[in-house]
Structure 1
């Protein structure tokens, strides 16, 4: 099974621009994904769908997705607005006022969590959300499960984007997921970069943005002294492909840009490819 993920779209960053930069980047990424063979079974959009919480930007997002040839499912990030999202995307499921729901797709399931905390740049995960997650995990302790949310719970090292272990929401989420042997991976956004970590024994990956990316800068930051460091860079729009091979979830990251092809599968390379397959057990 192949699952595509895009994140941190930030539509509406230029609210009055008909040719908005972030919309162009989104359209390029969607066109790239729609042309894949095989086509992903679904598309996950993991938060910061729009930039200012406005309803018009959600409408433009729906317009952009209208012709995408696979089902799409969303999570919310810190730039999103629950009420405006719900008006434009009424088909999504809610649990106690939060955008949390289960996706079943044989032979696995995905649990989509809502880490939006109004007024915070960082994440949130209250007792109500934790109770829903615990109930879903208790219902099924066997099916391979992927957690989908916007905010990663680990400390990424980029000072202004860090989540720290002492944050209450991180501890609450960690308590829900402790010793859950069937939870394989957590996929997130928010960092605007590809990153991977092991958190409480769970693999967590983040996907780069379709909007511009966060600069990779680990130097300590002084909130009182602007030092002119780069914060956002115009790297290409990006996405992830999560491949379930029947045992593990394997994540690949790529960008939606044109490339120069240096080798193709032609007669000159046919024997090499055939030999690689012959090496495998059962060939």
Structure 2
């Protein structure tokens, strides 16, 4: 199974511009996904779908995603506004309180999407009601391999201005909800605008790069009261992730929608090498 992921599209950042930079970057990624030699089974868009949470931007997002040749599922991030999102996407499931949380069975996997949006706060939030729903939902299918989908990664990233403290209450509630549910074989997130792979509480966790501009990789300590001129946002290529389920584990690949110049192709000159490499493997 092949799962595509995009995140942090921030549509509407330049709302009055018909040639909006972030929309162009998103369209480029979606075109790349549509043209892959193996079409994804589905796509997750993991939050910060729009910049200001306005209805018009969600409508533009709806039009953009209509180009996809595969089902699209969404999670919310800190730039989103639930009521406006649900106005444009009324078929996306919510729980009591309007939180966008739902479970999805697809092929060999179960996906559980949770809502870490705390409106008015940049960092994550996860209240007791959302945590209890997650714990109960996981308990419904304890033997089915499950992937958790969320916006905010509950990790300390090393990027001083874009990180989470492990002792934040929402992180502790998420840990409580996941505790003892070993069927969660992976977590996919957004928010940081960079590719990151790590583990959290014994589970693999992958952070997808943004379709909008990326966050600079600066790991030096930061004094919030003393601007030091470090780069913060950079115009690197729009990125995406592909998560491949091999029947046992989720394998994550990151790529960009830039042009990739092929230095070798599978033609007669490469056929001998390919045959040798494949032949070294035991037959299934």
With normalisation by structure 1, the TM-score equals 0.99
Q: Structure 1 residue 10 and structure 2 residue 10: aligned?
A: yes
Query: Structure 2 CA distance, aligned partners of 1:46 and 1:114?
Result: 10
2:106 aligns to what? 105
Query: Structure 1 CA distance, aligned partners of 2:237 and 2:173?
Result: 35
Secondary structure in 2 matching 1:184: strand
2:169 aligns to what? 168
Query: Structure 1 CA distance, aligned partners of 2:38 and 2:104?
Result: 21
Q: Structure 1 residue 75 and structure 2 residue 75: aligned?
A: yes
1:136 aligns to what? 137
Kindly state the Cα deviation for residue 202 of structure 1 after the two structures are TM-superposed.
1.1
Secondary structure in 2 matching 1:173: helix
Query: Structure 2 CA distance, aligned partners of 1:154 and 1:282?
Result: 40
Query: Structure 2 CA distance, aligned partners of 1:78 and 1:126?
Result: 15
Q: What aligned pairs does 1:203-242 form with structure 2 within 5 A after superposition?
A: 203-242=204-243
1:126 aligns to what? 127
Question: CA deviation digits over 1:49-98, x for unaligned, max 9?
Answer: 00011111101000111121100000000000001100111110001120
1:264 aligns to what? 265
Give the paired residue count. Answer: 283
Kindly state the Cα deviation for residue 120 of structure 1 after the two structures are TM-superposed.
0.7
Q: What aligned pairs does 1:143-158 form with structure 2 within 5 A after superposition?
A: 143-158=144-159
1:93 aligns to what? 93
Question: CA deviation digits over 1:223-263, x for unaligned, max 9?
Answer: 11111111000000000000000000000000001121100
Q: What aligned pairs does 1:185-204 form with structure 2 within 5 A after superposition?
A: 185-204=186-205
Secondary structure in 2 matching 1:160: coil
In structure 1, runs of 5+ residues without a counterpart are: none
Query: Structure 2 CA distance, aligned partners of 1:196 and 1:277?
Result: 28
In structure 2, runs of 5+ residues without a counterpart are: none
Secondary structure in 2 matching 1:120: coil
Query: Structure 2 CA distance, aligned partners of 1:157 and 1:178?
Result: 25
Secondary structure in 1 matching 2:161: helix
Is 196-205 or 38-47 further displaced after alignment? 196-205
Coordinate RMSD, CA, aligned: 0.8
Kindly state the Cα deviation for residue 121 of structure 1 after the two structures are TM-superposed.
0.4
1:248 aligns to what? 249
Query: Structure 1 CA distance, aligned partners of 2:261 and 2:60?
Result: 32
Query: Structure 1 CA distance, aligned partners of 2:22 and 2:184?
Result: 33
Kindly state the Cα deviation for residue 179 of structure 1 after the two structures are TM-superposed.
2.6
Query: Structure 2 CA distance, aligned partners of 1:66 and 1:266?
Result: 36
Query: Structure 2 CA distance, aligned partners of 1:244 and 1:85?
Result: 30
Query: Structure 2 CA distance, aligned partners of 1:218 and 1:121?
Result: 20
Kindly state the Cα deviation for residue 37 of structure 1 after the two structures are TM-superposed.
2.0
Query: Structure 2 CA distance, aligned partners of 1:230 and 1:110?
Result: 36
Query: Structure 1 CA distance, aligned partners of 2:107 and 2:79?
Result: 32
Question: CA deviation digits over 1:82-136, x for unaligned, max 9?
Answer: 0110011111000112000011012110000000001110000001101110111
Question: CA deviation digits over 1:163-191, x for unaligned, max 9?
Answer: 01110000000011123211100000000
Asked if structure 1 preserves the Cα contact closer than 8 Å seen for 2:139 and 2:181, the reply is: no
Kindly state the Cα deviation for residue 276 of structure 1 after the two structures are TM-superposed.
1.0
